[in-house]
Amino acid sequence: MKRRDLIRMGDQEIWTFVASQKNAQVSTNGKDGWPHLTTLWFAMDEGDVVLETFTKSQKIKNLERDNRITVLFECGTEYEELKAVVIYGRAELIRDPDEVHRLHMAVLLRNNTRDYPQELLVEATRSMVHKKTAIRVKAERVVSWDHSKLDVPY
């Protein structure tokens, strides 16, 4: 059996791992050909990763030109602990204010570690929705690895 086959995660492992993460490393294609890489909070909606950001951000400008997007979830500090999921997909840009609000709330509620009251988050989101775009990542290919599955040191 190939080493790659040993460390690949199954579908359930992939989505359990993604759900355990707080941050997503997001890469879009810049107009100069260089990847534009940033970190965003995310949520899951109808089986898709969803993100939100300011409409004037470089990420959105890049996605308007080229909707290819790569999202990385990773953890581990030692080789035998390394785990990651990479989603290669297409970005669906969502600008409908009600839908942006709903998805923005999903991201905020998932990541609200300061226990802000939900009413405060609703009010804040409603006041920003006209400046925001939500991104639905439509996965085309998913790659994963979990080095903890190896029973020998590297």
Q: CA separation (Å) from 151 to 1, 20, 67, 75, 81?
A: 13, 23, 40, 19, 12
Residue 97 pLDDT class (50, 70, 90 cuts): very high
Token pair 């006209």 is found at 130
What pTM value is reported for the model? 0.91
* pLDDT value, residue 154: 56
Residue 66 pLDDT class (50, 70, 90 cuts): very high
Identify the residue with better confidence: 153 or 136.
136
What superfamily would CATH give domain 3-149?
Electron Transport, Fmn-binding Protein; Chain A (2.30.110.10)
Q: What is the 3-state secondary structure (H, E, C) of 110-127?
A: HHCCCCCCHHHHHHHHHH
Q: Is the pLDDT of residue 153 over 80?
A: no
* pLDDT value, residue 39: 97
Q: Give the separation between CA 135 and CA 60, rounded to whole angstroms.
A: 9
